[in-house]
Structure 1
């Protein structure tokens, strides 16, 4: 490959959408933690962040109510933070029940989309019809109407529209939980929509362990375009998944850049622990070589964790991924909590000594301080996990 060809290939990889969709059920992250977490993402090679918590009522259950000035201001600050980190900002919008009376709801829907576009200036708007009960045979026709209305509002602003249909996988669990898919659902849904409208897809399952060529080509056939992967690893908001922490590197993702239009990762309910799997994502999109993926993850983690802490996390990875927290023995749980408390004291002491007595701070000091703060947050997240704080939310219907 020529030098020019190599440069173009690298640029294409960098431009490929790889980011986060904060779309899990349960208690949303607090804004301060979210902001700090966002600062770490560019180092992992991520280039966008879509805010779409299932438990933000303004974007779901109370979608038709006018946004307060305080709420809009908070989202503006979030957008500014994401863009200042060099990433694109997106907002998710789920108009629950809107299709039941489209004549009444369309004007309200248009007003809300216009407000989001004008006030937040997002790069992406995700229009989400997932996790909604299906009772109308012509649901695809109705959702198509809302997508068209949304596109009409967004186009003048140059905002990219990504939508998620009610049937975003071939996994039969969706019909069991939300109702039978209408016979012409996808043909009705897609009718007349331009190729510029992206569609989320979770793979062959709601939670897919890999994305094969067969899976991705089937998705493209169903959607009439390359899928935009909504990756439900490492999210842990389901009935069973809430008992685990998924810290292992990504795998089985190397075909996504050539057969999909982007990938959005749905993170765990814990905030900073997501840095461990995310450190491997970019390399996992390039290769399926586990050794190379692990090496890349280790290199990325050096920038936000100390070596000893990364080693400690490595000893816990298999335990938390394979053993439900409710089945960890009291002896093992108490040993871990004791060790975590010791580490907590050690890290707090190190943090207090990280700033010189004269108050001068070098770039090295800032880097070390960030590492310690990451580790303090993660220690507390593990403690809370072991103590049962992150329990299953029954609202997660696909759990």
Structure 2
């Protein structure tokens, strides 16, 4: 029978400092744990029993780092080895048959760590490392192994790649959490993708990659290096040799895992038969020849169900023609989606193998103004035997991503026992044990993505939702205050302000605080804004106009400060700004603000501004991938969120941006990512919403971008419409304009 390891005690003092009594749980949750009530003191010295072939292995190096007191003729013994080793021979029947499994036994005078293979032995030591943080070691037996063969991370997002230091920290994190794969494939690495994938890395970058490869090996992680050649690849011998040459250079750096990505491309590179032919060649003439290289991985062009044309045969072509050892990645029913049995039952028969899941969470390259700090939930708990791998695509914020990655490791190791909320709370404690309560307060209100083109949303402010809804419903309906709900919201606003201050002042995890500081600043303002709005409600109820005016003035000031944060920090060219509490907190506070000011104006015959948030621009589109994009406003300008994936723009499909009044434009710039697209689209404007006029388009340097000749033109709506008789596969990299 499976049992979760759940021990109460004091967390140790190795690197965390003394903490209060709290739940202790092995990470990831082990498959089988059996323990008595007895425990032993941590051994100061021990005799080591290990075969010589384990010397300098990651497992033995970690053990000796954890317990340096190795000695001879000591009663307490630690026996460590892999199946077949003399040191653990008598425990052979207890070692699980599953790859990367281990058997760990803590007895009164002995510790046994026996792995199915070398990585399994390493994981046994990692489990012991966690138990060593307890004041005493429990007498226990653990039989453990992963459900999913390959578990880890794909650094495959658009935007600022992780720093070298962040990657080194990540690899250590993967080792501790028993993740065995890191796929290096940042979209903005020029030597990974177009235009420089054919060229070798410069000396400095190559040295850093070598250091990453070595760090991965130290932590039991397979370092996969991915290449993204599809946008400009030529299906000829020259480019085939270019790929082999690049692989060979990476092999010389120590890389033993290789991947080829054909995602988010258009044109010739999307042909399934050509992809299969090339990949089989690489598999036959490189992977199999080397002998010590992991299975080749490919990311297909049709990497999710919504983009798949089954009748067209792309996926079936890969399934039939690709060598059976090549692994195929898959994101699910959509680009961003949770994975369940129905989605696995769709893809596996088509590709004739178990899919290798590329899970696009907590990646935020399409919602860069948000942080995704909430629980990992929604994936099936009954699909362990359906997946070859499960890797998470993270945020460009490496340290903040660890909250989700911790739970991804927990999920992929043991699906049946996975508890998303409990795992999330443990993840938070692992990052900031001394400020876990403050970080949890921040994370619970910074979980959702906001409106986005993929339609993927997450729960946010879950525990507070009933109080928010009750407070707003009662006040909007008849102006009454639900006192119980009011008290809960008031208490939470105070917690928000305190948590933001505590985190911004903390020195506990500076890498994390540096990443999230703009959101912490915004978060504090949201809490203060909520407090001011609540004071407005109280003042109006008490007919205290002076107090209402003061609270109103403060709320308006906080609205302006939130706007300044949003337009001053994180000004990336795609989804600029800083959003916090955007799903539940701010909408509720704004609605209460509007209702309170409206009631005040009616009662006192005043004309206070009722606007809580000003956005002069809205957009709509009948192109599905554009329909939910967000619009940003800053000063005299506006922009629409960019899209990373290929847009399938149907004939007659249109994108319309509406303005709240007649404005005069100064400039307008559009980038569809493909050269010579101006002839397939028409840009139009209208002053009345009925009569449209064409706007001449001017290509910029003959590239993919073009400007509309709009200077001095009065507009109320702007429309970009496809005039081609064929579907156009383009990108949506820029739609920016400025008023006079």
Decide: shared fold, TM above 0.5: yes
In 2, the alpha carbon distance for the partners of 1:169 and 1:323 equals 20
TM alignment of 1:136-215, pairs within 5 A: 139-151=271-283, 152-157=285-290, 158-159=292-293, 160-172=295-307, 183-208=312-337, 210-215=338-343
State whether residues 299 and 329 of structure 2, in contact with CA within 8 Å, keep that contact through their aligned partners in structure 1: yes
1:258 aligns with 2:385: yes
Equivalent position to 1:227, from 348, 355, 360? 355
State whether residues 337 and 383 of structure 1, in contact with CA within 8 Å, keep that contact through their aligned partners in structure 2: no
| SS, match of residue 313 in structure 1 | helix
Partner of 2:421: 294
Deviations 1:119-177 (A, max 9, x none): 133232111011111357x81121112202221212222322010111111123xx7xx
Q: Higher RCO, 1 or 2 (CA under 8 Å, sep at least 6)?
A: 1
Equivalent position to 2:260, from 84, 107, 127? 127
Shift of 1:339: 5.7
In 2, the alpha carbon distance for the partners of 1:101 and 1:282 equals 38
In 1, the alpha carbon distance for the partners of 2:498 and 2:511 equals 16
Kindly report the root-mean-square deviation, in angstroms, between the aligned alpha carbons of the 2 structures: 3.3
1:389 aligns with 2:578: no
State whether residues 147 and 415 of structure 2, in contact with CA within 8 Å, keep that contact through their aligned partners in structure 1: no
1:7 aligns with 2:96: yes
In 2, the alpha carbon distance for the partners of 1:170 and 1:22 equals 22
Partner of 2:692: none
The structure number with the bigger radius of gyration is 2
Partner of 2:345: 217
Shift of 1:186: 2.7
TM alignment of 1:1-399, pairs within 5 A: 7-8=96-97, 11=101, 12-13=145-146, 16-61=149-194, 62-117=196-251, 119-135=252-268, 139-151=271-283, 152-157=285-290, 158-159=292-293, 160-172=295-307, 183-208=312-337, 210-238=338-366, 241-251=367-377, 252-285=379-412, 286-287=414-415, 292-307=419-434, 309-322=435-448, 324=450, 340=500, 343-345=503-505, 347-348=506-507, 372=508, 375-385=509-519, 386=522, 387=565, 388-389=569-570, 391=572, 392=574, 394=642, 396-397=644-645
In 2, the alpha carbon distance for the partners of 1:340 and 1:379 equals 10
| SS, match of residue 305 in structure 2 | coil
Higher-strand-fraction structure:
2
In 1, the alpha carbon distance for the partners of 2:512 and 2:97 equals 38
State whether residues 438 and 500 of structure 2, in contact with CA within 8 Å, keep that contact through their aligned partners in structure 1: no
Shift of 1:280: 1.8
Shift of 1:226: 0.4
Q: Which runs of 5+ in 2 are unaligned?
A: 3-31, 33-92, 102-144, 452-491, 523-564, 576-641, 647-731, 733-740
| SS, match of residue 155 in structure 1 | helix
Deviations 1:350-387 (A, max 9, x none): xxxxxxxxxxxxxxxxxxxxxx2xx2221221124455
TM-score normalised to the size of structure 2? 0.44
Q: Which runs of 5+ in 1 are unaligned?
A: 326-331, 349-371
State whether residues 392 and 408 of structure 2, in contact with CA within 8 Å, keep that contact through their aligned partners in structure 1: no
| SS, match of residue 258 in structure 2 | strand
In 2, the alpha carbon distance for the partners of 1:52 and 1:182 equals 30
State whether residues 106 and 146 of structure 1, in contact with CA within 8 Å, keep that contact through their aligned partners in structure 2: yes
State whether residues 139 and 182 of structure 1, in contact with CA within 8 Å, keep that contact through their aligned partners in structure 2: no
State whether residues 114 and 154 of structure 1, in contact with CA within 8 Å, keep that contact through their aligned partners in structure 2: no
In 2, the alpha carbon distance for the partners of 1:164 and 1:205 equals 14
Task: Tell which deviates more after alignment, 156-165 or 379-388.
Answer: 379-388
Task: Tell which deviates more after alignment, 97-106 or 70-79.
Answer: 97-106
Shift of 1:53: 0.3
Task: Tell which deviates more after alignment, 382-391 or 312-321.
Answer: 382-391
Deviations 1:171-198 (A, max 9, x none): 23xx7xxxx8892323433444322110
Shift of 1:253: 4.0
Task: Tell which deviates more after alignment, 259-268 or 98-107.
Answer: 98-107
State whether residues 40 and 304 of structure 1, in contact with CA within 8 Å, keep that contact through their aligned partners in structure 2: no
Distance 1:256 1:88, change over 3 A: farther
State whether residues 259 and 298 of structure 2, in contact with CA within 8 Å, keep that contact through their aligned partners in structure 1: yes
In 2, the alpha carbon distance for the partners of 1:377 and 1:72 equals 25
State whether residues 340 and 383 of structure 1, in contact with CA within 8 Å, keep that contact through their aligned partners in structure 2: no
Distance 1:204 1:14, change over 3 A: closer
In 2, the alpha carbon distance for the partners of 1:8 and 1:101 equals 43
Higher-helix-fraction structure:
1
